[in-house]
Amino acid sequence: MDLITPEFGLVFWTAITFLFLLLILRKFAWKPILGAVSDREEGIKSALASAENARKEMENLTADNERILKEARIEREGMLKEAREIKIKMIADAKEEAQEQANKMIEQAQTAIESEKKSAMAELKNHVAGLSLEIAEKVVRQELSNKDKQLELVESMLGEAKLN
- Give the model confidence (pLDDT) of 54-112 as tens digits: 999 999 999 999 999 999 999 999 999 999 999 999 999 999 999 999 999 999 999 99
Convert the pLDDT of each residue in 66-82 to its tens digit. Answer: 999 999 999 999 999 99
Give the helix, strand, coil percentages of the chain, each rounded to 5: 90, 0, 10
Counting Cα atoms < 13 Å in the Cβ hemisphere of 68 gives 6
Residues 6+ apart with CB under 8 A from 1: 7
Q: CA 164 to CA 162: how far, in whole Å?
A: 6
